[in-house]
Amino acid sequence: MNKVLSVWKPENISSYDIIRKIKSINKSYKIGHCGTLDPFAEGIVVICIGNYTKKINVYMECDKTYIATIKLGYETDTLDYTGKIIKISSNQPLLDKKCIINVINKYIGHTMQIPPYFSAKKINGIKMYDFARKDIFIKPKPFKIKIHYIDLIKYSKDLITLKINCAKGTYIRSLARDIAYDLKTFGHLTKLHRTSIGQFNKTNSLSMKELESCISIN
């Protein structure tokens, strides 16, 4: 079978669980993914099967859209709610719409970003999360990212929800951390939905149940 599949990954499973599901149905398939999504997040994962694995890089270059909710007040080692608290703010800033928009506008266009300690970014050929899991935290050099737009969806005294469209290589967890710093506090992600990758969105993506039916038929 030669296909490109867009799958809507639910929370609390890994992107590799999707590949394992396909392999469990037919081990002969050559399979590759076009970028992982953190287990705590839900949303689109693009899977290439058969001859389409040669086009993985094409799909990895596609822009991505996210809906992200940032909780202010403390930071975790993973920069999401699954991690250990490592920093707690001594005061809670008073937020208003203008203040938040001024901050998020700073990140539109090309900026430099430091990836999370728990990420697949490599240092000397070793993924950063392999170091972090051994309590070795190495701060890498920042690298260039590009964000096309950030829209403020809603906010409260300690929660901010944003819609973000960005190019390959952007870490939304790092963006949440940096936005919180600019708001004079700490922060981490409590929710993350990847709503599009290029032409793929929730409407034209398969659920895990639909994926099993699709693969079984083929």
Which residues participate in catalysis according to the annotation?
38
Decide: helix, strand or coil at residue 218.
coil
> In terms of DSSP bridges, do strands 159-166 and 3-9 run parallel, antiparallel, or are they unpaired?
unpaired
Tell me which H or E stretch contains 103: helix 97-105
> Considering Cα of 142, then 166, then 22, then 42, what sign does the dihedral take?
positive
Decide: helix, strand or coil at residue 93.
coil
Q: Tokens 């008073």 sit at which residue?
A: 94
